[in-house]
Amino acid sequence: MWLIDFYKTSPMMLAFTGLYLLLYVFSLVKVLLNTHSTPKTLAYILLITVVPIIGMFTYFSFGVNYRHKASSRITKSHHNLISKNFASIIKDNTLELQKSNAALLGKYHNLIHFIYSLGSEYLSLNIFHLLLNGEAKFPEVLKTLTAAQSSIHMEYYDWENDVRGNQIKEILLDKIDQGVDIRIMYDDYASRKIKHNIVKELKNAGAEIYPVLKVKLTAFANRLNHRDHRKVIIVDGHTGFVGGINISDRYDNSIDTGLYWRDTHIKIIGESVYNLQRHFLVNWNSCQENELTLNPKLFPPIPTITEGNRQVISQIVAGGPIYPISNIMLTYFKIFTHAKQKLYITNPYFIPSDSILDALKQAAISGVDVRIMMPEKSDSVIVGAASKFFYNEILEAGVKIYLYKKGFVHAKTVVADGDLSVVGTANMDIRSFDLNFEIMSINYGTALASELETSFINDLKDCREVSVKEWNSQSKFMFLLYSIARLVSAFL
């Protein structure tokens, strides 16, 4: 009764309470309708209920996914239009390659069809060069950029204002003087250090250079939730680079930065570069007004492939907030469930979805030799602790966990059954599965898979294996911290 009397004498408090309840119910409805991950949904509901004001602010700042809103400018319309035009000018050799390579590709028919169905991701024949760490990648990149004749396209998450960053800038300035078309996209947040010098110098010299998903104060948090995490270079339309290595000295161990950095990239020459180019154009036409058309200059004839010992048949998989499903996560899932003998995974950020967790467990329980390599010490305390939450579950299933001790392992690679491999930009977490723009090359062939497997085995020498007994011997307090970190990671 006293509460009713209080509200009768305090109409302002009654109005405030009504407004609060309205906002509370509205927030819960938004979370339930728009958050598809069950753990994330429960986490936001708990946060909004326990600390309502902070919870509502956190959800509407960080949790709202604008993936389907046209106002994001990175829209499905660009992707659909370019894909339609792409199909009309590029010959699809998928069926021919499947027939001529039936011994290799026959067992991967379902995987190939699945990836193809994600968006006309054609099979293509290429030659590859595996580039381990920045000390292998950067000299190859500098050489290839120097030889460019027609165009250079670059899309990078992190470009630093350091030795390697400025070396690449200087070559680009020279190529501009030679009449080469330079088009560059960079992530506005991660590459913020180059805005006031490298970006200005290149733009003043005639390069077209733009940020992707520009960060604005009015939408700061949400924009941080949708980053362009790709690391791609396309030279003259037929030579491409893709992998985990950003433009930064810390990836190059020939430059002393105080920490050994283990990462993987590949150089590709072949028709897979057409698909890299296609996905580049989608983002390019969405981040600035002067749209590029799919003209023959951007898709020139591929040089004759002569290095038979380096041949690989590939498909490109792109992911990001414009896609209706999680292309990256589902491709990983399909590969993991397809493995029959060996599955070697290297990834720095391991916060798997339930589907990925189940795929890894069923593979191990089925007798597949599943090994996962991660850094012993993560560059993110929360992510590192959240990853450890899943160790016991996969260890009990028979998955082997190796923690890299030599430095920081940042590679995003998979090798399966000796003839299937993945090299790309995607981590195994919700950010790469659902929020960031990512890209990776799925490769069929023993040559690249063998080199990646050899690299994996060599890296094991710098790892320590985690045993079930060792893991279970930790204190309950540590498991509590891992559990809390896993809960917090739902908001990341």
Catalytic residue, candidates 40, 79, 137, 231: 231
**Pair of tokens at residue 335:** 């590969």
Say whether 193 is catalytic: no
Q: Which backbone phi and psi does 434 adopt, to 5 degrees?
A: -130, -25
Catalytic residue, candidates 410, 419, 429, 434: 410
Q: List, in order, residues 6 or more apart from 446 with CB less than 8 Å away.
A: 418, 419
Catalytic residue, candidates 187, 236, 429, 459: 236
Catalytic residue, candidates 412, 429, 434, 459: 412
CB atoms within 10 A of CB 181: 17
Say whether 410 is catalytic: yes
Say whether 412 is catalytic: yes
| DSSP 8-state class, residue 123 | -
Say whether 229 is catalytic: yes
Percent helix, percent strand, percent coil in the chain, to nearest 5: 50, 20, 30
> Which ranges constitute the DSSP H helices of 296-349?
327-338
List 316's β-bridge partners, or say none.
Answer: 441
DSSP 41-62: HHHHHHHHHHSHHHHHHHIIII
Sign of CA dihedral 43, 48, 49, 50: positive
**Pair of tokens at residue 232:** 């791609």
**Pair of tokens at residue 87:** 């199909």
CB atoms within 10 A of CB 306: 8
238 burial (CB, 10 Å; 0-12 / 13-18 / 19+) is: buried
Catalytic residue, candidates 40, 153, 175, 229: 229
381 burial (CB, 10 Å; 0-12 / 13-18 / 19+) is: exposed
Q: Which backbone phi and psi does 59 adopt, to 5 degrees?
A: -65, -50
DSSP 369-387: EEEEEEESS-SSHHHHHHH
Which residue, chain included where needed, has tokens 């897979």?
272
| Alpha carbon distance 446, 306 (integer Å) | 17
Catalytic residue, candidates 187, 228, 263, 417: 417
25, 320, 469, 476 from 472: Cα distances, Å: 42, 37, 5, 9
| Alpha carbon distance 185, 280 (integer Å) | 9
| Alpha carbon distance 26, 3 (integer Å) | 25
Q: List, in order, residues 6 or more apart from 403 with CB less than 8 Å away.
A: 373, 374, 375, 376, 463, 464, 465, 466
Residues involved in catalysis? 229, 231, 236, 410, 412, 417
